[in-house]
């Protein structure tokens, strides 16, 4: 593996509070302070002038659909989409076919990752057997098999007692519990946010309270048990307030926001475009602004994409029958930069922190830093380059994106994983 010398980039590393133009060196797959003269002569030089060099992005919430749903995405295609988006580590959800509720399925996923992935792909395990919400999965054996968290993402555990037992066991094994916060009794047949737009469009509404109730439940259980519960893809302003007050009391609650929930509202559904249909649904402008304020004051800890691929023929249906979910990996950085940096006046290092160090620390992952000796996971991007995103020409196997055909600002140029260039100037660099 050749040494790398990134010249004249703006280096932003929130973990070490570094922010300035300089050079970055990589040797034997790790960040080093400098290269010996002989190594410099042999090093691959990357001109970083005008670019930002930051730790590789970390996403703790993606769906790669393998095993069993490879018509939508595979670990190989999903990891390539991640690399194109500047992500070097992603955490995949267990709602595959079969679901990842046992050590054998986890080992299968790890074997495919070792064979096909171009970035670091880490598995989660189910909270309950079959993701049916009736009996606990073998959390200890899942931990030994290598999961980094447990979750029934996509199918929230409805029994409060069962969830209590799950978080108690998870605490014993030092595993975070990720929860998709949805009260199913309030969302039967619902397809979009409950409000003026759902009434106007004649679509069944999905109330904020369906999320708020489960978020409150999780706060209570976290304080009761001392377990770490992570609330996924928060969308409701009331949920933000519940989490904020819980954190002030010291609860071990964390939460994420997605690029689409901070960028879009239910007004986007006016044309019945199913590429705007997701779970939880796009909400109102007031909710969107509350999410941004939650990110600003630390109530919401991180940005995560909830990358959820579906085929064209699945999405090309009446709105009621199309599946929820959109692509997120290739557009996350430009969309987040637009919403938070350009429109909401966040500092760029703070936004990078939301997508690197914080998610890595949240579930105790290595990475998220450019410190001396750290694995050389690096994202190089041009914050000002404009480009037209074509989802069909992207690296995912699916193309269900609300940003397809739009001009975005901010583009990943090079992604480096463990010192190896895996994406460069629009191309995946195969092993």
C-alpha 280/C-alpha 215 separation (Å) is 13
Cβ–Cβ under 8 Å, residues 138 and 104: no
Place of tokens 């010192």: 419
Helices (H), 266-413: 285-297, 312-315, 332-336, 348-355, 357-362
DSSP H/E element including 383: strand 378-388
Q: Reply yes or no on whether 287 is catalytic.
A: no
Q: Are 77 and 66 in contact (CB under 8 A)?
A: no
Count of Cβ atoms closer than 10 Å to residue 46 Cβ: 22
Q: Cβ neighbours of residue 221 under 8 Å, at least 6 residues apart?
A: 160, 163, 164, 167, 227, 229
Count helices and strands (H / E) in the chain. Answer: 14, 19
Which residues sit opposite 414 in a β-bridge? 380, 424
Note whether 167 and 128 are within 8 A (CB). Answer: no
How far is Cα 64 from Cα 62, in angstroms, rounded to an integer? 6
CA distance 185 to 261: 23
Instruction: Give the DSSP letter string of 95-122.
Output: -SSS-S-SHHHHHHHHHHHHHH-SSEEE
Report whether 46 contacts 4 (CB < 8 A): yes
Residue in 155, 306, 375, 377 annotated catalytic: 306
Distance between CA atoms of residues 200 and 323, nearest Å: 21
Catalytic residues: 306
């Amino acid at each position: 593996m050749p040494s790398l010398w990134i010249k004249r980039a703006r280096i932003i590393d929130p973990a070490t509070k570094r922010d300035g133009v300089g050079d970055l060196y990589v040797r034997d797959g790790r960040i080093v302070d400098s290269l010996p003269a002989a190594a410099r002569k042999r090093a691959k030089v990357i001109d970083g002038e005008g670019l930002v060099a930051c730790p590789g992005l970390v996403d703790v919430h993606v769906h790669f659909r393998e095993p069993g749903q490879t018509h939508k995405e595979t670990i190989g295609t999903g990891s390539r989409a991640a690399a194109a988006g500047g992500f070097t580590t992603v955490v995949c959800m267990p709602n595959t076919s079969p679901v990842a509720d046992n050590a054998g399925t986890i080992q299968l996923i790890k074997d495919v990752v070792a064979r096909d992935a171009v970035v670091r792909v880490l598995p989660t395990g189910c909270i309950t057997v079959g993701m049916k919400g009736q009996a606990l999965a073998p959390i200890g054996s899942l931990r030994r098999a290598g999961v980094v968290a447990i979750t029934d993402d996509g199918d929230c555990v409805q029994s409060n007692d069962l969830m209590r037992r799950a978080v108690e066991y998870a605490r014993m094994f030092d595993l975070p519990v990720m929860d998709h916060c949805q009260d199913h009794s309030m969302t039967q047949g619902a397809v979009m946010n409950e409000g003026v737009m759902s009434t106007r469009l004649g679509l069944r509404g999905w109330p904020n309270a369906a999320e708020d109730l489960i978020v409150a439940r999780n706060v209570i259980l976290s304080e009761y048990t001392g377990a770490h519960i992570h609330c996924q893809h928060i969308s409701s302003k009331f949920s933000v307030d519940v989490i904020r007050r819980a954190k002030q009391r010291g609860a071990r609650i964390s939460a994420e926001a997605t690029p689409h929930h901070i960028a879009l509202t239910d007004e986007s559904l006016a044309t019945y475009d199913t590429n705007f249909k997701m779970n939880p649904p796009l909400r109102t402008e007031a909710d969107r602004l509350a999410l941004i304020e939650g990110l600003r004051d630390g109530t919401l800890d991180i940005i995560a994409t909830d990358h959820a691929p579906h085929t064209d023929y699945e999405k090309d249906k009446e709105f009621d029958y199309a599946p929820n979910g959109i692509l997120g990996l290739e557009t996350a950085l430009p969309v987040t930069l637009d919403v938070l940096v350009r429109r909401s006046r966040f500092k760029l290092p703070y936004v990078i922190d939301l997508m690197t160090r914080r998610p890595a620390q949240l579930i105790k992952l290595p990475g998220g830093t450019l410190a001396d000796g750290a694995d050389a996971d690096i994202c190089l991007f041009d914050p000002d380059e404009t480009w037209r995103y074509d989802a069909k020409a992207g690296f995912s196997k699916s193309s269900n994106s609300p940003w397809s055909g739009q001009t975005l600002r901010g583009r990943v140029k090079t992604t480096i994983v463990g010192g190896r260039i895996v994406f460069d100037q629009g191309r995946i660099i195969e092993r």
